[in-house]
Amino acid sequence: MGERVEVLRWGYRKGRDPRITTHLGLVARALGADAFTLAGEDDKELLENLQSVTTRFGGEIETNHVSGISYLRKHVESGGVAVHLTMYGQPYRQAIPKIRRDRPLLIVVGGAKVPAEVFKACQYNIGVGNQPHSEVAALALFMDEWFGGGAAERSFPKAQLIIEGSNQGKIVHDLEREEE
């Protein structure tokens, strides 16, 4: 559906942000991103863990580590659209219909204090609310709206494990064991 969608975790700090950043990567993967990229400290283990989830639960997501502002500027200069999720932005439900879908989308999610040059480089600074909240929630709400909902109905090719939800808990289908 549409062009490439990439989530860029801005200002990643390896010793301080691994749990929340892992959750950002999981949300990006589960809700339809093609790539999850760290801008900040490199953390090969975090990116390997995200790929491990992809191996077990299916689908595909590219993982990368890049330099921050030059990567963002290059994306915009090459014709891509950059959206920065911030509490201080325009409301996401009003902004999303205005965003071009025929260009690659880079969703910037801050960690450490985001410099003014990120706000300036992004064509859209978007908020999901104006109260303190989690960047994971912001990403999930934005992506759900961007893809028109239906996250639960997405399929993940090459899955080894498939979770079937129920009112009494989960049922795990291990496709490798069921084939034996």
Do residues 36 and 65 lie in contact, with contact meaning Cβ atoms separated by under 8 Å? no
Do residues 29 and 36 lie in contact, with contact meaning Cβ atoms separated by under 8 Å? yes
Q: What are the residue ranges spanned by the domains of the chain?
A: 5-150
Q: What is the CA 110 to chain-centroid distance, rounded? A: 12
Confidence of residue 67 (pLDDT cuts 50, 70, 90): confident
> In the CATH scheme, what is the code of domain 5-150?
3.40.1280.10
What is the mean predicted confidence (pLDDT) over 10-31?
93
3-state DSSP assignment of residue 86: strand
pTM over 0.95: no
What is the mean predicted confidence (pLDDT) over 99-121?
93
Confidence of residue 20 (pLDDT cuts 50, 70, 90): very high
Distance CA 92, CA 146 (A): 9
The pLDDT tens digits of the residues spanning 21-63 come to 999 999 999 999 999 999 989 999 999 999 999 999 999 999 9
